[in-house]
């Protein structure tokens, strides 16, 4: 048995049980009761006691890749009595339940993208240093910062806040595990403005999932509500990052740009990531997030300009397209004066090869 991995799994199981919505404290006793491999990952079966006089109960923690010490988020217990005769069978069932949930989330996302339904779909995550949140503080912050009354719907629980704003539904949920598959860490590499992004993302232990659903309001109004929710989640004392628009933002950065809405401006830097890189013949830039608003992503290729100038140029285009609900077409030109003309070409993306993007001459 891999001793270091076992120690890490036991520590993770204890942390999960100590959450206020589980045992609310560390178990009085805990022992590893076996291991099993499932879907090429290793899992640890635990039996634990709430108090020294109570019965043993069943828990499971994993999956681990080879000698890795970070699990993939499958930590769970149904607080049921441990029975050696069927402990492994029940532990496997708990893991499969968790996997099924995440696979269904992925399936729905893939179907929505394939059907062109990504437009208007707002969902993102706030990374947490530990598995806790202050739900009452979030409700207060929404009211004080944005005059949003988060009156809960019937589906809410201690780990979730579900409420309506007009005909839109907002859902905020505490997820007691890191985002699976190293997804947050991978996307954190995109943030060239925050050197600690990857390290911070790798260290997160839980996350808050935020989504805005439905409603006949414009996509812009849904996007504003989504940004307000994420910005208020950033005020949680253990918030370490915001994962949205294909990147991980620093919380203070995200909060600061969300305040643009208080000046009646669009929070484009919360919605859209402006990627920059050095091309063969100059500076290149691209947008990521325009598809949520039903618009093509935009690119500038090999510009004879400073990176900040390319970013500001793209930001001006994004503001115009979103504020005026403009659809740019292949073969057209765009400019900010009669003399200022920039040609538009629609073709396979350079920085985003799986998408068709608009190439704007600088």
Q: Which residue has the higher pLDDT, 157 or 93?
A: 93
Q: How confident is the model at residue 214 (pLDDT cuts 50, 70, 90)?
A: confident
What's the average model confidence in pLDDT over 209-232?
89
DSSP string for 34-98: EEEEETTEEEEEEEEESSTTSPPEEEEEEEE-TT-S---SEEE---PBP-TTTHHHHHHHHHHHH
The string of pLDDT tens digits covering residues 33-58 is 999 998 889 999 999 999 999 999 99
Average pLDDT over residues 2-29: 90
For residues 145-164, average pLDDT: 80
Lowest mean pLDDT among 174-178, 204-208, 246-250: 174-178
Angle in degrees, 0-180, between the axes of helices 219-233 and 135-146, rounded to the nearest 10: 130
Burial code (b: 16+ CB inside 10 Å, e: under 16) for 66-102 equals eeeeebbbbbbbeeeebeeeebbebbeebbeebbeee
150 forms beta bridges with: none
Mean pLDDT (whole number) for 76-98: 89
Task: Return the higher-pLDDT residue of 180 and 102.
Answer: 180
pLDDT of residue 195: 94
3-state secondary structure of 176: coil
pLDDT value for 295: 94
pLDDT computed for residue 180 by the predictor: 82
The residue written with tokens 């991995």 in the block is 5
- What pLDDT was estimated at residue 156? 54
Residue 153 CA: distances (Å) to CA of 21, 128, 215, 221, 354: 20, 25, 16, 21, 39
- Asked if residue 111 has pLDDT above 60, the reply is no
Task: Sheet with 160-165: list strands edge to edge.
Answer: 160-165, 168-175, 206-213, 122-128, 239-244, 247-249
Region 276-296: what's the mean pLDDT?
94
Q: Does residue 336 have a pLDDT over 90? A: no
Average pLDDT, the chain: 89
For residue 116, pLDDT beyond 50: no
Percent of the chain topping pLDDT 70: 91
- For residues 142 and 231, the answer to whether their CB atoms sit within 8 Å is no
Mean pLDDT score, 343-358 = 94
**Dist CA 42 CA 71 (whole Å):** 9
More reliable by pLDDT, 188 or 98:
188
Overall pTM surpassing 0.75 (yes/no): no
pLDDT over 70 at 323, yes or no: yes
| pLDDT confidence of residue 113 | 47
128-142, 226-240, 329-343: which range is least confident on average?
329-343
Confidence (pLDDT) at 115:
47
Alpha carbon of 34 to those of 31, 88, 89, 121: distances in Å? Answer: 9, 8, 12, 42
pLDDT surpasses 60 at 293: yes
The tokens of 85 are what?
Answer: 């005769």
């Amino acid at each position: 048995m891999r001793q270091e991995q076992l120690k890490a799994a036991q520590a993770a199981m204890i942390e999960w049980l100590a959450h206020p919505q589980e045992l609310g404290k560390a178990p009085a006793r805990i022992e590893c009761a076996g291991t099993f491999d499932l879907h090429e990952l290793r899992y640890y079966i635990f039996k634990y006691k709430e108090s020294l006089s109570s019965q043993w109960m069943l828990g499971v923690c994993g999956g681990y890749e080879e000698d890795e010490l970070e699990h993939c988020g499958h930590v769970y217990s149904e607080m049921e009595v441990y029975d050696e005769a069927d402990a492994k069978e029940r532990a496997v069932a708990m893991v499969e339940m968790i996997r099924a949930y995440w696979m269904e989330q992925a399936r729905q996302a893939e179907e929505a993208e394939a059907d062109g339904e990504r437009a208007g779909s707002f969902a993102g995550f706030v990374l947490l240093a530990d598995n806790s949140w202050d739900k009452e503080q979030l409700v207060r912050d929404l009211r004080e910062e944005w005059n949003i009354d988060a009156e809960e719907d019937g589906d809410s629980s201690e780990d979730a806040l579900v409420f309506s704003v007009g005909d839109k539904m907002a859902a905020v949920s505490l997820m007691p595990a890191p985002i699976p598959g190293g997804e947050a860490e991978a996307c954190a590499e995109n943030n060239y403005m925050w050197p600690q992004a990857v390290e911070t993302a790798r260290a997160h232990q839980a996350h808050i999932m935020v989504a805005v659903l439905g409603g006949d309001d414009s996509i812009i109004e849904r996007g504003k509500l989504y940004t307000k929710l994420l910005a208020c989640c950033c005020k949680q004392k253990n918030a370490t990052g915001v994962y949205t628009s294909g990147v991980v933002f620093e919380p203070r950065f995200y909060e600061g740009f969300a305040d643009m809405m208080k000046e009646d401006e669009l929070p484009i830097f919360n919605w859209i990531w402006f990627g920059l890189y050095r091309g063969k013949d100059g500076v290149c830039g691209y947008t990521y997030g325009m598809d949520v608003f039903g618009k093509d992503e935009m690119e500038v290729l090999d510009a004879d300009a400073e990176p900040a100038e390319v970013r500001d140029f793209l930001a001006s285009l994004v503001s115009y397209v979103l504020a005026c609900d403009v659809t740019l077409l292949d073969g057209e030109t765009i400019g900010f004066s009669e003399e200022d003309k920039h040609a538009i070409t629609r073709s396979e993306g350079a920085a985003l090869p799986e998408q068709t993007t608009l190439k704007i001459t600088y």
